[in-house]
Amino acid sequence: MSPQKVVISDQLDRTLAEAIAECEHDKVFVLADETTVECCLPVIEQFECMAGAKRITIEATDTHKNLASLSHVWHDLSEGGATRHTLLINIGGGMVTDLGGFAASTFKRGINYINIPTTLLSMVDASVGGKTGINFLGLKNEIGVFNNAKSVILDTEFLKTLDTENMLSGYAEMLKHGLINDAKMLGELLSFDIEHPDLEQLKRMVAESVAVKQRIVTEDPTEKGIRKALNLGHTAGHAFESFALKHNPVLHGYAVAWGLIVELYLSAIKTGFPTDKMRQTVRFILDHYGKMNITCDDYPTLLELMTHDKKNIAGIINFTLLGGVGDILIDQTATKEEIYEAFDFYRES
């Protein structure tokens, strides 16, 4: 993959103008969803560098991260006269950057794109690392490609537009980064008041969180080895998320937080993760994210959903577990009985 520049910006107008200038282009399109059109797009449409940019709007929420929305973007690019030299700017949360990145990667066999993430989740997770894609047949990110944006521009001023639920959704990925990094980072995350955040402190923490992901992605861009560390909480988390899509959809970060409970328990019983750190993290998650109600009758469905995880090998469910904070153990397995025991722990916590 081509390298990706990540810029934490204090002057969005200048940063975006520089990013656009670095991409040879004949036309500029900007993709946003209905929420971003109202809350965030007006900020950049007034910039001189955006003069003449054509707007593409899709419906909001992850339920529209699908083939229909992707086709709509392709259609508007084609009808708007986009060529192989056109530039697409994606402004929004992870749904927009994932889908927009995939649309750009496949239109005319690939056009350049820039991501401007506007949610905490998209800043620390979805916009960094070159993963693009859509949901398909009720499965998260089932179709997609690895392809880096030319630039990712982070401006934490957009976080002022976020509600608490969406802040918490992104914060779950930051918790994951703390768990796979070191105890100091995790300790600050567990003591930070995310529901009444100090935005200056959060800006520094976002930079640290992005640096953890960038370091891992640079070492393993196509997920052959250590990049699987970023899957912590996601094998169970994606199962929760896909399960919820069929009943009452939940934000990605909430599902990841619940997945962390399951996989930290597996880490405690299988790879020696300290139970005090597990319980401290689980308590933070329960206090802030609550729980999705499941019963024992739901276990087979959740287990079946876990078998669709893209990191599985030969149908065997593949976990990233921890021996301790920062002690990453990839390609771990668990028996059906151990997984059900972890679901029991989740339900009874």
Using one digit for the tens of pLDDT, what is the confidence trace for 245-279?
888 889 999 999 999 999 999 999 999 999 999 99
Instruction: State the average pLDDT for the chain.
Output: 94
Catalytic one of 64, 72, 131, 140: 131
pLDDT given for residue 286 in this prediction: 98
Is the pLDDT score of 1 beyond 80? no
Catalytic one of 66, 90, 141, 223: 223
The model's pTM is: 0.89
pLDDT given for residue 3 in this prediction: 67
- 3-state SS string for the chain: CCCCEEEECCCHHHHHHHHHHCCCCCCEEEEEEHHHHHHCHHHHHCCHHHCCCEEEEECCCHHHCCHHHHHHHHHHHHHCCCCCCCEEEEEECHHHHHHHHHHHHHHHHCCEEEEEECCHHHHHHHCCCCEEEEEECCEEEEEEEECCCCEEEECHHHHHHCCHHHHHHHHHHHHHHHHHHCHHHHHHHHHCCCCCCCHHHHHHHHHHHHHHHHHHHHHCCCCCCHHHHHHCCHHHHHHHHHHHHCCCCCCHHHHHHHHHHHHHHHHHHHCCCCHHHHHHHHHHHHHHHCCCCCCHHHHHHHHHHHCCCCCCECCECCEEEEEECCEEEEEECCCHHHHHHHHHHHHHC
Tokens read off for 100: 């927009």
165 vs 126: which has the higher pLDDT: 165
Beta-strand relationship, 131-136 and 139-146 = antiparallel
Catalytic one of 176, 213, 228, 270: 213
Catalytic residue list contains 336:
no
Catalytic residue list contains 234:
yes
Instruction: Map out the domains of the chain with their CATH numbers.
Output: 5-161 (3.40.50.1970), 164-348 (1.20.1090.10)
pLDDT given for residue 141 in this prediction: 87
Tokens read off for 330: 């990839």
Closest CA to 77 of 54, 59, 102, 52: 54
Is the pLDDT score of 221 beyond 90? no
Catalytic one of 65, 140, 173, 203: 173
Catalytic residue list contains 166:
no
**Partners of residue 33 on adjacent β-strands:** 58
The Cα–Cα gap between 54 and 76 comes to: 9
What confidence tens digit (pLDDT) does each residue in 269-318 have? 999 999 999 999 999 999 999 999 999 999 999 999 999 877 787 778 99
Catalytic residue list contains 59:
no
Band of residue 15 on the pLDDT scale cut at 50, 70, 90? very high
pLDDT given for residue 334 in this prediction: 96
Catalytic residue list contains 238:
yes
Is the pLDDT score of 126 beyond 80? no
With b meaning 16 or more CB within 10 Å and e meaning fewer, what string describes 203-212? Answer: bebbebbbeb
Catalytic residue list contains 311:
no
What confidence tens digit (pLDDT) does each residue in 31-44 have? 999 999 999 999 99
Q: Which residue has the tokens 């300790």?
A: 187
Q: Please enumerate in sequence order all residues whose Cβ is within 8 A of that of 91, keeping only pairs 6 or more positions apart, or say none.
A: 30, 31, 32, 36, 40, 41, 44, 116, 118
Catalytic residue list contains 141:
no
Catalytic residue list contains 252:
yes
Catalytic one of 64, 140, 227, 228: 227
pLDDT given for residue 128 in this prediction: 78
Name the percent of the chain lying above pLDDT 70: 99
Catalytic residue list contains 65:
no
What confidence tens digit (pLDDT) does each residue in 164-216 have? 999 999 999 999 999 999 999 999 999 999 989 998 999 999 999 999 998 99
Catalytic residue list contains 291:
no
Q: Which residue has the tokens 């959903």?
A: 305
* Average pLDDT estimate for 120-126: 90
- Cα 191 to the chain's mean position, in Å? 23
What confidence tens digit (pLDDT) does each residue in 16-63 have? 999 999 999 999 999 999 999 999 999 999 999 999 999 999 999 888
What confidence tens digit (pLDDT) does each residue in 144-162 have? 999 999 999 999 999 998 9
pLDDT given for residue 148 in this prediction: 93
